[in-house]
Structure 1
Amino acid sequence: MKLHTSIGPNPRVVKMFLAEKGLEIPFVTVDLMGGENRREPYVAAVNPAGQTPALELDDGSCVTEITAICEYIDERHPSPPLIGTTAEERAATRMWTRRVDLKVCEPMANGFRYAEGLRLFESRMRVLPEAAPGLKAVARDGLEWLEGHVQGPWIAGDRFTLADVLLFCFLDFGATVGQPLDPGFGKLTAWFETVKARPSAAASA
């Protein structure tokens, strides 16, 4: 396997997931700023969606989308489990990962793309600058919801999972692009600092 990677929170999710697993695989750096991910040969040979990361398997095929990549890695290397070892654990992880993605990560990322990242993305995708403030507010609302509903030390309860990796990588990114975590969210702030102290956070930065 090898990982086609670049700057940004999405590739970092997979790199942190790999670090949690103790796995080292070759990285191929894609020039995101230069638009390498949006042209040949990348879109033909690696990911027609023109996005990073992409996990290239030994047979040359590629798995894209961070949740699919991480689930594949977890199945191939089940220890330590970051999705779950039972149907119930896997369902809980997928539920919280989906909630984190929809309520926080997606609106946060698009809020950035339509505002601070506008010059980079306006020639690559449809951008809606007028939507940026609302999307950032939606991401904050999602964090407020999480603050009130997270029960355990980790997002999915008593297990450190993909949901934690996903949220941490996006919150760490958000802090650099004008969307810092509100310190008034005490549980999430404490959670963030705990995850930040994990070796995988530094290894994936």
Structure 2
Amino acid sequence: MKLHTSIGPNPRTVKMFLAEKGLDVPFVKVDLMGGENRREPYNATVNRAGQTPALELDDGSTVTEITAICEYLEEQHPNPPLIGTTAQERAATRMWTRRVDLKICEPMANGFRYAEGLQLFQGRMRLLPEAADGLKAVARDGLEWLEGEFKGPWIAGDRFTLADVLLFAFVDFGGQVGQPLDPAFGKLTDWFERVKARPSAAASA
């Protein structure tokens, strides 16, 4: 098993998940800036969508999409649990992960792609520069919503889960590309510092 990885919050999510699991998986670095992910052999044999990360299994098949990769890793290595040990825990983790992804991560990422990342992504996907500011506002609205819903100490409550890993990777990325976490969101700011202090945060940077 090996992980095809690169820069960016999506690969970091999986790397941090692996670090939390204590799994030592070889990394194959993909030159995202040079477009290696958009040409052969990567997009022919690893991920036809031309995206990272991709988890290559021992039989040569690959699992892509960060939540699917993390679900696979959890099933193969259930301890420590980052999704859950019961149906109710797993459902709660998936619910919060989905909310975080739709309300915050996706609009934040596209807000970057359509603005600061415009030159990098030009010619690779349909870009909507006119939507950038609105998408960034949507991501901020999502964070404001989560601030109001947050009970703590972690997103899903008492358990540190995939939802925390995913959101941390994107919020940390947002802070580097003009979408910093508003300090007015006190509960999320405290949460961010708690996650940042975990060894997995440094290991995945």
TM-score interval (norm. to shorter):
over 0.9
- 2:46 paired with 1:46: yes
Deviates more, 1:150-159 or 1:77-86: 150-159
Instruction: Note the aligned Cα RMSD (angstroms).
Output: 0.4
- Distance in 1 (alpha carbons) for counterparts of 2:152 and 2:135: 28
Deviation at 1:151, TM superposition (A): 1.3
Amino acid at match of 2:132: A
User: Residues 53-132 of structure 1: matches in 2 within 5 Å?
Assistant: 53-132=53-132
Paired residue for 1:7? 7
- 2:172 paired with 1:155: no
Deviation at 1:103, TM superposition (A): 0.3
Amino acid at match of 1:154: W
Deviation at 1:99, TM superposition (A): 0.2
- Distance in 1 (alpha carbons) for counterparts of 2:87 and 2:60: 30
Structure 1: stretches of 5+ with no match in the other structure: none
Paired residue for 2:35? 35
Paired residue for 2:164? 164
- Distance in 2 (alpha carbons) for counterparts of 1:163 and 1:9: 13
Q: Could you tell me the percent identity over the aligned residues?
A: 86
- Distance in 2 (alpha carbons) for counterparts of 1:133 and 1:122: 18
Amino acid at match of 2:90: R
Deviation at 1:122, TM superposition (A): 1.3
Deviation at 1:63, TM superposition (A): 0.1
- Distance in 1 (alpha carbons) for counterparts of 2:195 and 2:27: 24
Helix, strand or coil at the partner of 1:155 = coil
- Distance in 2 (alpha carbons) for counterparts of 1:40 and 1:4: 14
TM-score by length of 1: 0.99
Deviation at 1:43, TM superposition (A): 1.0
Deviation at 1:150, TM superposition (A): 1.4
- Distance in 1 (alpha carbons) for counterparts of 2:79 and 2:125: 38
- Distance in 2 (alpha carbons) for counterparts of 1:28 and 1:189: 33
Paired residue for 1:18? 18
Give the number of equivalent residue pairs.
205
- Distance in 2 (alpha carbons) for counterparts of 1:150 and 1:60: 41
Helix, strand or coil at the partner of 1:14 = helix
Helix, strand or coil at the partner of 1:28 = strand
Amino acid at match of 2:45: A
Deviation at 1:23, TM superposition (A): 0.6
